[in-house]
Amino acid sequence: MEWRGSLEELMNRMNNPRVVIDNAVCPTATLIKVDSARKHGVLLEAVQTLTDLDLSIHKGYISSDGRWFMDVFHVTDRCGRKLTDAHVLSCIEHSLNTLESGFVGGGGGGGGGGGAGEADVGDLTAVELTGADRPGLLSEVFAVLADQRCDVVEAKAWTHNGRIAALVLLRDADSGCPVPADAHRVARVEARLRNVLRGSGDRDRDHQGRGARARVSSAAPAARATASDRRLHQLMFADRDYERRGGPGAGARVRVGVESWGERGYSVVTVECRDRPKLLFDVVCTLTDMEYVVFHGTVDTDADRAHQEFYIRHLDGSPISSEAERQRVIQCLQAAIERRQSEGVRLELRTVDRRRLLADVTRTFRENGLSVTRADVTTKGKMAVNEFYVTDTMGNSPDPKIIDAVIKRIGEENLHAGEEERLSRLYSTRDGSSASAGLFQLGSLVRRNLYYLGLVKSCS
């Protein structure tokens, strides 16, 4: 009937988010307000959208009233400036106005092989890996894939608490198409990868019963960075990387508290740590995948420190009910924040893509005593644009002389240390004194001013 069609149209208009972008309220940031129906995961979807657009969230206010949510974010671009470009503002408004599902990706709890954030990317095959980390492991993984005639198109790898999780997107080296869905070939690739992840036979399972897992899937997770980030969080959560603490003082860098507000039936989660990009995404992603709903919250940053507070309940409306559950939430949030913390020296590889490139580059790292703690591999046309964080085999910052030797071996035109590492080494070689720290800060200020004058392309 006609009235039913009109009612459905009205409900759709009511449920779709309403977005307001205001540059007049705050002198230092652009205010973005999102009103939407309260659905599980809609907050994560909004935060993910802003993160996808490479925006920094400095303040945030989250509130729900009955069936409705109101989210207010104070954002800037990556260089700390308000958003004034009309095209960027239109893109933000369009992206937030299309939040319809209320849930980004699939299953809660980071379980198994299905895939949160899965999408058909058409010409790629996905490999998911989890297991115990060790020096040179990623090099061995890339070598196995090259031997199996698989080209790596994109890859992300995180390490935390002695564990590794990796998401690799492949295509067949000979045809350029997805790796053929031949059961024997898939089984062979999975078996070879599991053998590499196990290492020696006595590492088949660790003392907590966790083993090596490798899965090849024809349904590749979405190539968007934050979608793959969410999947890595889920893989590490499923591998229980939160159960074992890192090195001495690791927990001191991230303070997480969980208290009960019995009068209102909420559990109050507080997070205090150093601010960094994607921090809010990592926290909200973890709460969402653990099947908690954020009803109210505040996000604030002061210089390089971040403070976040969330009032949460289970999906069924109940608060956290036991000390064991409270401790588990604390551990999981600490792990989620620590996974992305940058350890070691950042190396940037930009060169023409070729077969066995990753296997050769990471083998050079391994032969020089470098261990990859994080990797972000992308292919843009015929170019490979990769980023690695490396430490020595003990997890400490590597000797600058080794970094210089690796750069020369791979090619100074292809491999570079990150801007901060280059400036730090430059000033330390000049005087080796504590004044180098001040010079580094001065260099950062000069670089930012040059960006504003349009004399350099990036201030990052």
Q: Where are the domains of the chain?
A: 1-104, 122-221+342-417, 245-340, 430-460
Asked, colleague to colleague, whether 1-104 and 122-221+342-417 share their fold, the answer is yes
Question: Using CA atoms, how far apart are residues 240 and 249, in angstroms rounded to an integer?
Answer: 20
Kindly give, in sequence order, each residue whose CB lies less than 8 Å from that of residue 26, ignoring residues fewer than 6 positions away: 74
* Mean pLDDT for the stretch of residues 162-178: 87
Which residues have a Cβ under 8 Å from the Cβ of 240 and sit 6 or more positions away?
Answer: 208, 210
pLDDT band for 238, please (50, 70, 90 cuts). Answer: very high
Question: For 357-372, what is the mean pLDDT?
Answer: 96
Residue 412 has pLDDT above 50, yes or no: yes
Model-wide pTM > 0.85: no
Higher pLDDT among residues 224 and 239, named by residue = 239
Residues 204, 210 contacting (CB under 8 angstroms)? no
Averaged pLDDT score across all residues of the chain: 81
Q: What is the mean pLDDT of residues 57-69?
A: 89
Which listed CATH number (3.30.70.260, 3.40.50.620, 3.40.640.10, 3.90.180.10) goes with 245-340?
A: 3.30.70.260
Architecture, CATH, for domain 1-104: 2-Layer Sandwich (3.30)
Residue 428 has pLDDT above 80, yes or no: no
Between vectors from CA 371 to CA 369 and to CA 373, what angle results, nearest 5°?
165
User: Band of the pLDDT at 206, cuts 50, 70, 90?
Assistant: low
CATH number for the region 122-221+342-417 comes to 3.30.70.260
Helix intervals (H) in 130-248 = 137-147, 183-198, 225-238
pLDDT at 449 over 70: no
Q: Which residues pair with 76 in a beta bridge?
A: 56
What integer pLDDT is reported at residue 252 of this predicted model? 56
Question: Which distant-in-sequence residues (6+ apart) come within 8 Å of 432 by Cβ?
Answer: none
